[in-house]
């Protein structure tokens, strides 16, 4: 069995290794100079390569059932074992995140590269850009390179990634190759990315971090009823252009998708999710009584980050911050309570593909058999990794998806003989 794997990233290397171990002759074709460039950048250079609590729940709604089936075939435990055999000793960190004990992403990349080198039936071709895929009438495929070379093969595994981290070679080639075969591709948009806003105050809030709950709100273009879409809790980072932090990242794919659908969206921040709104207002009332000697600018001292105070006060109608707190009216106090419990930030977009860590959208999943990763329309063609419409949250879920789907595609491509 001859198998060509297009893309030498996380899923492509896993697929090539598994296919070769099952006896296939594998050609692993990578556009860049080296295999696995993006892996080196993952997890801030430490590579959060899996999560102890990985399940379909950490992926987009369209993908949950699909991911569940794939993980029933190649479980996260199996991939942790796969890496253990390659010498990667897992170290558990907060929220179930797994990192190599070396705390170096290079270890994960090197372990895969060494295994690719050890397997004599894998040929690595770098600096080769695949631009076309043709089905042969006699069976199998031609894979067409940028030099118009036609490589004949029985099976193809498409593992070109999505568009996130485009500086590492992922520019949506897999989507273009799939579309050229008339396969449906859900419009890709950046996920796990910072969200932007035009609110003036962000310039002065750069560097502020605050814990809380964030809710993504959908509003239709005609200003209909706002609808909560999803919520996350954690550390919110205020930046000069908008909002960042893992909880924001986890909502960003859905926010971008709403905006791609021409809907409006906002993020509502609750800086005190542990207290009910009315109880919080009563607490502020008591604080007011105890603070008669203070100026307005000090009223919220100890409650929120100092840089947030003038923004909250002014947007609640308290304009003169050097006046005593007894000038704050009941209405203004209610506004302050509202701001701290439901601070609404209108979102205008997100940072670009080079800042995004994942792609929302991609090859539509109903076209793929989840038990094998094979295309229903093109037997012998398999898909793996981020090129598909699967996007996970922060925490090792995207690499886990790349490994499991890659191993399953490699195994199926090597074993299946009816192409």
Size of the site for ligand FAD (CB under 6 A): 38
Q: Which of residues 12-41 bind ligand FAD (CB under 6 A)?
A: 12, 29-32, 37-38, 41
Exposure class string for 295-304: b at 16+ Cβ within 10 A, else e:
ebbebbeebb
The CA distance from 29 to 8, in Å, is 6
In the three-class reduction of DSSP (H, G, I as helix; E, B as strand; rest coil), residue 258 is classed as helix
Exposure class string for 155-187: b at 16+ Cβ within 10 A, else e:
bbbbbbbbbbbbebbbbbbbbebbeebebebbe
Of 336 and 387, which CB lies nearer to ligand FAD in the complex structure? 387
Residue from the set 165, 190, 362, 370 that interacts with ligand FAD by CB under 6 A: 165
Closest of 24, 388, 36 to residue 177, by C-alpha: 388
Taking the complex as a whole, the smallest distance from the CB of residue 128 to ligand FAD amounts, in Å, to 6
The CA distance from 26 to 132, in Å, is 18
Site string for ligand FAD, 367-386 (x = CB under 6 A): ------------------xx
Residue from the set 3, 4, 6, 193 that interacts with ligand FAD by CB under 6 A: 6
Residues forming a β-bridge with 97: 51
Give residue number: closest CB to ligand FAD.
9
Is residue 382 within 8 A of residue 14, CB to CB? The reply is no
Of 10 and 26, which CB lies nearer to ligand FAD in the complex structure? 10
Of 281 and 353, which CB lies nearer to ligand FAD in the complex structure? 353
Q: Which of residues 105-164 bind ligand FAD (CB under 6 A)?
A: 129-130, 159-161, 164
Q: Which of residues 230-289 bind ligand FAD (CB under 6 A)?
A: none
* Neighbouring residues of 174: CB distance < 8 A, sequence distance ≥ 6: 6, 7, 158, 159, 160, 161, 162, 362, 363, 383, 387
Long-range contacts formed by 84-89: CB under 8 A, 24+ apart: 86/111, 86/112, 86/114, 86/115, 87/111, 88/49
Of 48 and 367, which CB lies nearer to ligand FAD in the complex structure? 48
Q: Which of residues 384-413 bind ligand FAD (CB under 6 A)?
A: 385-387, 396-399, 402
Site string for ligand FAD, 168-207 (x = CB under 6 A): -xx--x----------------------------------
9 contributes a contact to ligand FAD by CB under 6 A? yes
54 contributes a contact to ligand FAD by CB under 6 A? no
Taking the complex as a whole, the smallest distance from the CB of residue 171 to ligand FAD amounts, in Å, to 7
Residue from the set 350, 357, 360, 367 that interacts with ligand FAD by CB under 6 A: 357
Of 100 and 165, which CB lies nearer to ligand FAD in the complex structure? 165
Of 314 and 351, which CB lies nearer to ligand FAD in the complex structure? 351
Taking the complex as a whole, the smallest distance from the CB of residue 34 to ligand FAD amounts, in Å, to 9
Residue from the set 19, 20, 42, 63 that interacts with ligand FAD by CB under 6 A: 42
Of 9 and 100, which CB lies nearer to ligand FAD in the complex structure? 9
Of 155 and 264, which CB lies nearer to ligand FAD in the complex structure? 155
* 3-class secondary structure per residue, 69-125: HHHHHCCHHHHHHHHHHCCCCEEECHHHEEEECCCCHHHHHHHHHHHHHHCCCEEEE
Of 7 and 140, which CB lies nearer to ligand FAD in the complex structure? 7
- Other residues' Cβ atoms within 10 Å of the Cβ of residue 414: 23
11 contributes a contact to ligand FAD by CB under 6 A? yes
Residue from the set 3, 4, 5, 10 that interacts with ligand FAD by CB under 6 A: 10
The CA distance from 199 to 197, in Å, is 6
Q: Is 98 left (phi over 0), alpha (psi -120 to 50) or beta?
A: beta
* Neighbouring residues of 3: CB distance < 8 A, sequence distance ≥ 6: 16, 19, 24, 25, 26, 27, 153, 154, 155, 156, 157, 410, 413, 414
Contact residues toward ligand FAD (CB under 6 A) are: 6-12, 29-32, 37-38, 41-43, 47-48, 129-130, 159-161, 164-165, 169-170, 173, 357-358, 385-387, 396-399, 402
């Amino acid at each position: 069995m001859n198998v060509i794997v297009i893309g030498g990233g996380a899923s492509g290397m896993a697929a090539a290794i598994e296919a070769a171990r099952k006896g296939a002759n594998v050609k692993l074709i990578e556009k860049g100079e080296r295999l696995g460039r993006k892996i080196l950048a993952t997890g801030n250079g430490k590579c959060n390569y899996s999560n102890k609590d990985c399940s379909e729940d950490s992926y987009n709604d369209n993908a949950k059932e699909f991911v569940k089936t794939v993980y029933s075939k190649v479980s996260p435990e199996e991939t942790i074992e796969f890496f253990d055999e390659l010498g990667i000793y897992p170290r558990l960190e907060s929220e179930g995140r797994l990192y190599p004990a070396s705390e170096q992403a290079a270890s994960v990349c090197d372990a895969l590269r060494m295994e690719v080198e050890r397997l004599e039936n894998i040929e690595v071709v770098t600096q080769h850009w695949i631009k076309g895929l043709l089905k042969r009438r006699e069976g199998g495929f031609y894979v067409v390179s940028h030099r118009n070379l036609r490589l004949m093969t029985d099976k193809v595994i498409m593992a070109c990634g999505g568009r996130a981290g485009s500086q590492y070679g992922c520019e949506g080639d897999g989507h273009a190759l799939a579309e050229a075969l008339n396969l449906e591709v859900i419009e890709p948009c950046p996920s796990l990315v910072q969200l932007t806003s035009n609110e003036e105050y962000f310039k002065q809030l750069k560097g502020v971090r605050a814990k809380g709950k964030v809710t993504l709100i959908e509003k239709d273009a005609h200003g209909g009823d706002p609808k909560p879409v999803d919520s996350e809790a954690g550390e919110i980072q205020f930046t000069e252009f908008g909002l960042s932090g893992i909880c924001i990242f986890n909502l960003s794919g859905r926010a971008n998708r709403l905006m791609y659908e021409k809907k409006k969206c906002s993020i509502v921040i609750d800086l005190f999710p542990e207290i009910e709104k009315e109880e919080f207002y009563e607490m502020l009332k008591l604080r007011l009584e105890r603070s008669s000697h203070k100026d307005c600018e000090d009223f919220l001292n100890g409650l929120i980050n100092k840089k947030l105070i003038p923004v909250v006060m002014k947007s609640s109608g308290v304009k003169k911050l050097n006046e005593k707190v007894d000038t704050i009216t009941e209405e203004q106090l209610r506004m302050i309570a509202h701001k701290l419990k439901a601070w609404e930030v209108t979102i205008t977009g997100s940072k670009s593909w080079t800042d995004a860590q994942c792609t929302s959208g991609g090859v539509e999943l109903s076209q793929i058999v989840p038990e094998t990763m094979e295309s229903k329309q093109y037997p012998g063609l398999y898909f793996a990794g981020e090129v598909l419409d699967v996007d996970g949250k922060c925490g090792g879920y995207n690499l886990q998806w790349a490994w499991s789907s890659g191993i399953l595609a490699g195994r199926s491509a090597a074993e299946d003989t009816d192409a």
